[in-house]
Amino acid sequence: MITLIQTLIDGAMVGLVYGLVAISFVVIYRASKIINLAQGEVLVFGAFLLWTFTEGSGYAIPLPIALVLTLIACVVFGAVIERTVFRPLIGQSAFTIFMAGVALLILLRGVAQLVWGAQTRSAPAILPEGAIEFGPFLVNTRLLIGAVFTVCLTQALHLFFTRARVGLRLAAVAEDHTTALSLGVSVRQAIAVAWILGTVVATAAAAVLLSGSILSLGVAVIGFKALPVALLGGLESIRGAPLAGLIVGMFEALAATYLDPITNGAASGLLPYLLMIAVLLIRPYGLFGWQRIERL
């Protein structure tokens, strides 16, 4: 029993961080209708930027300043991706954009290797290590902070998209570009803002997820782990992402504890994708995504 609950707690914590990465997919998809296949690489890039400003710089930059510098670098990075790769492709077919995503993925991997080298290094530990005891259960402090951060960020983004002027603009762009234009919304600007926001969220996820652990190009796989989470939650739904993350994380943890010993560790890797396929068959727009409203 204790193992079961401990497993669920661990799964939920990791799942919420998946949710954070999924939010970065959602933010970008809503405005631009693009699923950025290279989002995992974007995340790793963000992590490398953070490393550069902390341990890699050779100077003792205080952490808050390093975080601000990383944030600025991310904003520039997101804007550059949008401006150079995806803006010229507005209005092109989904396949073209898919291929551009693949190209960006390969390109970012290459550039990251060129700039930072292929060796693994330790990621900056910006969050405290250790664990908090709740009775018989142990909760990893880093993941707990990450989970709380995810929940707060989700709520903040939700309010942003439903109340704030800029957020409402992004919501209008998410619905329909022509309508948004007729309302005087600059669709280009909105898409650029969405990419920047998505990049910043992905980097925040990287900082939380990798704090104190290993940073290498392989970490980019998290992108493909978070994609099913985003699809499961619904690609338009900010609040759906962490909820779907919880589900996926807990199932993954359960499979890792109970099925992996029998299946040589294959079950935990497969389960999220099986879950995703099952949900998409029943609700193609995900659990909380925008259902297409058909009028007859």
Should residue 293 be labelled a site residue for another protein when binding is judged by CB under 8 A?
Answer: yes
Burial class (CB in 10 A: 0-12, 13-18, 19+), 283: middle
Q: Which of residues 67-126 bind another protein (CB under 8 A)?
A: none
Should residue 287 be labelled a site residue for another protein when binding is judged by CB under 8 A?
Answer: no
> Would you say 24 and 201 are in contact if contact means Cβ atoms under 8 Å apart?
yes
Say how far apart CA 156 and CA 280 lie, in whole Å: 28
Query: Closest distance between another protein and the C-beta of residue 24, in Å?
Result: 21
Query: Closest distance between another protein and the C-beta of residue 295, in Å?
Result: 8
User: What distances in angstroms separate CA 81 from CA 34, 87, 166, 251, 287, one per listed residue?
Assistant: 13, 9, 21, 34, 30
Nearer to another protein, 168 or 259 (CB): 168
CA angle 202, 203, 209 (to 5 degrees): 90
Should residue 285 be labelled a site residue for another protein when binding is judged by CB under 8 A?
Answer: no
Nearer to another protein, 2 or 293 (CB): 293
Should residue 27 be labelled a site residue for another protein when binding is judged by CB under 8 A?
Answer: no
Say how far apart CA 249 and CA 209 lie, in whole Å: 14
Helices within the chain (DSSP H only): 2-32, 39-53, 63-81, 94-116, 141-162, 165-175, 177-182, 187-210, 221-233, 240-254, 260-263, 267-282
Query: Closest distance between another protein and the C-beta of residue 251, in Å?
Result: 28
Say how far apart CA 213 and CA 207 lie, in whole Å: 10
Query: Closest distance between another protein and the C-beta of residue 247, in Å?
Result: 22
Binding track, positions 179-218, relative to another protein; x by CB under 8 A: x-xxxxxx--------------------------------
Query: Closest distance between another protein and the C-beta of residue 234, in Å?
Result: 11
Nearer to another protein, 109 or 169 (CB): 169
Q: Which of residues 141-180 bind another protein (CB under 8 A)?
A: 162, 165, 168-169, 171-172, 175-179
* Contacts with another protein, residue ranges (CB under 8 A): 162, 165, 168-169, 171-172, 175-179, 181-186, 236, 290, 293
